[in-house]
Structure 1
Amino acid sequence: MNDADVSKQIHQMVAFIRQEAEEKANEISVSAEEEFNIEKLQLVEAEKKKIRQEYERKEKQVEIRKKIEYSMQLNASRIKVLQAQDDLVNSMREAAGKELLHVSGHHLSYKNLLKELIVQSLLRLKEPSVLLRCRKDDGPLVESVLESAKNEYAEKANVYPPDISVDDVYLPPAPRHYDAHELFCSGGVVLASKDGKIVFENTLDARLDVVFRKKLPEIRRRLFGQVSA
């Protein structure tokens, strides 16, 4: 084989190797492109999933915040309604308290009321000897009805008339105007056993408190209707 044949054969081998290398390179390139596209798609889908999950998480947070804000606003509204109801009830209590200040101004009716309060107190205490306390201004009226009150009690309880001592320590006077922050007494009496162990407060203010507490559910029902539990 001469040199020309050898050279030709070498060229053919180089061309074959080159073609095979190019085909292999092209095959690798196509395969790499496919893998790249698959991985890119997977990454894109993964990112989309993360974005959807983040969006859903934030959407849930927004819904939770909305529910919390609604609940807070609803509770605040309820508190305002309850406060307004309490204010109205308290204003009624204050109005009733103001009316008590006029009771002692009606001399004859107040005198009879004092006697009834004393009799009622004696019936509650059922003591043979008691101490009576009243307002200083009511002293003369109390003294004027004391005897008839003792006799009426004795007749109702079927006992001897009790010994009643009028205390020289007086209940607070009536205020010139209604003020819940100062000590005052709208009228009535306080009776106690001689040893001071049993005390029955039968002032107009105490009776108003008792009646108001007792009637409070009915007052609320009449003002605001039936409230479901």
Structure 2
Amino acid sequence: MNDSDVSKQIQQMVRFIRQEAEEKANEISVSAEEEFNIEKLQLVEAEKKKIRQEYERKEKQVQVRKKIEYSMQLNASRIKVLQAQDDLVNSMKDNASKELLSVSNDHSNYKNLLKNLIVQSLLRLKEPSVLLRCRKEDLELVESVLDSAKEEYAEKAQVHQPEIVVDKIYLPPAPSKKNEHDRYCSGGVVLASRDGKIVFENTLDARLDVVFHNKLPEIRKSLFGQIAA
């Protein structure tokens, strides 16, 4: 084999090696590109997942804040409604209190009412001797019915007539513009045992409080309807 043939073979071998190298290089390049694309896709998907999770977290926070805000507004509205209802009910009681003042203006009926209140109080206390307190302006009317009240009580309770001592410390006067912020009494009496251990408040204001308290559920139902549990 001459030099020319050797040279040709060497060139063929070089071309073959180069071609093989190029093919290998292309395979490596394609494989690297594929791995890069896969890794890039994985990174993109991972970032997308993080973004979705962050969005979901923030969305949940927003929903929670909305629920809290709605609950607060709902509670505030309920409180306003309840306050408005209380204001209306209390205004009714205030109006009733003002109407009580007219009761003592009719002396004939009020005199009979005082006697009945005294008898009722005696029946509650069932004491042989009691202390009676009234308004100063009612003193004359109270004294005028004491005998008949004691007699009626004794007959109903089947006991001796009790001793009734009228206290010189009087109940507060009726409310007026001059003393509208002071203690007041619309009428009636307060009886107590002589030792002061048993007291029965039978004023018009106390009776209104009792009636109002007992009738409050009925009043609310009449004004506002049945309240859901």
TM-score, L = length of structure 1: 0.92
Structure 1 residue 110, shift from structure 2 partner: 1.1
Distance 1:182 1:89 in 2: 22
> Which residue of 2 is the match for residue 82 of structure 1?
82
Per the alignment, in what secondary structure is the counterpart of residue 104 of structure 1? coil
Structure 1 residue 179, shift from structure 2 partner: 7.2
CA gap of 1:39–1:178, structure 2 versus 1, over 3 A, is farther
Structure 1 residue 56, shift from structure 2 partner: 2.5
Q: For 1:72, give the aligned amino acid.
A: M
> Which residue of 1 is the match for residue 127 of structure 2?
127
> Which residue of 2 is the match for residue 111 of structure 1?
111
Structure 1 residue 21, shift from structure 2 partner: 1.9
Structure 1 residue 180, shift from structure 2 partner: 6.8
Please say if 1:17 is aligned against 2:17. Answer: yes
Q: For 2:151, give the aligned amino acid.
A: N
Q: For 1:58, give the aligned amino acid.
A: K
> Which residue of 2 is the match for residue 197 of structure 1?
197
Deviations 1:112-159 (A, max 9, x none): 111111111001101000000111111111111111111111111111
Distance 2:53 2:179 in 1: 64
Please say if 1:62 is aligned against 2:62. Answer: yes
Q: For 1:192, give the aligned amino acid.
A: A
What RMSD, in angstroms, separates the aligned Cα atoms of the two structures? 1.9
Kept in 2: contact 1:100–1:204 (CA 8 A) = yes
Q: How does 1:116-155 map to 2 (within 5 A)?
A: 116-155=116-155
Distance 1:192 1:38 in 2: 98
Per the alignment, in what secondary structure is the counterpart of residue 164 of structure 1? strand
Structure 1 residue 87, shift from structure 2 partner: 0.6
Please say if 1:164 is aligned against 2:164. Answer: yes
Kept in 2: contact 1:97–1:178 (CA 8 A) = no
Kept in 2: contact 1:98–1:178 (CA 8 A) = no
Structure 1 residue 70, shift from structure 2 partner: 2.1
Deviations 1:18-53 (A, max 9, x none): 222222111110110111111122222222222223
> Which residue of 2 is the match for residue 223 of structure 1?
223
Per the alignment, in what secondary structure is the counterpart of residue 104 of structure 2? helix
Q: For 2:111, give the aligned amino acid.
A: K
TM-score, L = length of structure 2: 0.92
CA gap of 1:180–1:29, structure 2 versus 1, over 3 A, is farther
Kept in 2: contact 1:132–1:191 (CA 8 A) = yes
Kept in 2: contact 1:189–1:201 (CA 8 A) = yes
> Which residue of 2 is the match for residue 188 of structure 1?
188
Q: For 1:208, give the aligned amino acid.
A: L
Across the two proteins, how many residue pairs are aligned to each other? 229
Distance 2:52 2:6 in 1: 68
